[in-house]
Amino acid sequence: MENGRGGMDGKVVLITGGTSGIGKATAIALAAMGANVTITGRNRERGEKAVKEVRRESGNEEVELILADLAVQAEVRRLAEEFRERHDRLDVLVNNAGLVISKRTETPDGMETQFATNHLAPFLLTNLLLDLLEKSAPSRIVTVSSEGHRWGKMDLGDLQSTKRYRGFPVYGMTKLANIMFTYELAERLRGTGVTANTLHPGGVSTNFGNNNNGVMTLLFRAFKPFMRTPEQGADTVIYLASSPDVEGMTGKYLADRKIKVAADAAYDEGLQKKLWEKSEELTGLKVTA
């Protein structure tokens, strides 16, 4: 992907959750390399402010916003359609948007909110844009996971966490789902020129966790002084999105630019396939792959 002034000239990039934190830092870096960047966000005012900041800090005017609440499947579908209306190619998809919620809530689709936002949204969006990615190959899919996946358990019989809900273990399960999705996706895409990798950004001081009450918020506040900046957290995302060093590398989990071994459950191929099938059912998506 090394070409032009910064290696990304003429490349089209879509970053979910790009209005703050890691997503915005990634957008600034890739736009500064010459990429045409689209970010997503839920709030128009915050989104437009972020676009101005990314343009100013990157020196690149080719930065756009698409509004979408990724917890809602109809909005994920509309996001994919709107992106297609604007672009006929996609070189890099960064599935970055994510959240952690201390109390169980449901989306308008009747899905548990963390699972819907952190796993089903990237699963659906990626599959809806796969043909564009394949047409633009060599292209890349980068999904932000977390070391928190080690605290998650994949219970296919209770993906909606109706039996028992604890905020962080459910978050961990969704981040485990990100890795399993990436591994299965990489296998399905072999030979297409599209790579799929995932990563742990480190503990990053962002707005993440601010929508919680009680103990969880206190924990996030207590650890903030020891956390990475969004720019540090975005480093491996940017590396996977742009570096010629990882051209052709696929199906890997990274932290600090190094390949890491994920939790044992992530490598269970039977579980990966079952999660994929359940995700197809829950999103109404039947993928011919």
pLDDT of residue 31: 98
DSSP state for residue 109 in the 8-state scheme? T
Task: Tell me how far apart the alpha carbons of residues 113 and 111 are, in angstroms, rounded to a whole number.
Answer: 6
Separation of CA 225 from chain center: 25
Q: What is the CATH number of domain 12-283?
A: 3.40.50.720
Residues known to be catalytic: 171
pLDDT of residue 218: 52
List the one residue out of 203, 84, 194 whose CA is nearest residue 140. Answer: 194
Radius of gyration from C-alpha coordinates of the chain: 17
Q: What is the pLDDT along the chain (289 residues), one digit of tens a residue?
A: 333 346 899 999 999 999 999 999 999 999 999 999 999 999 999 999 999 999 999 999 999 999 999 999 999 999 999 999 999 999 999 999 999 999 999 999 999 999 999 999 999 999 999 999 999 999 999 999 999 999 999 999 999 999 999 999 999 999 999 999 999 999 999 999 999 999 999 865 445 444 555 555 555 455 455 567 888 889 999 999 999 999 999 999 999 999 999 999 999 999 999 999 999 999 999 755 5
Q: Which residues pair with 92 in a beta bridge?
A: 13, 140
Contact 232/214 with Cβ under 8 angstroms? no
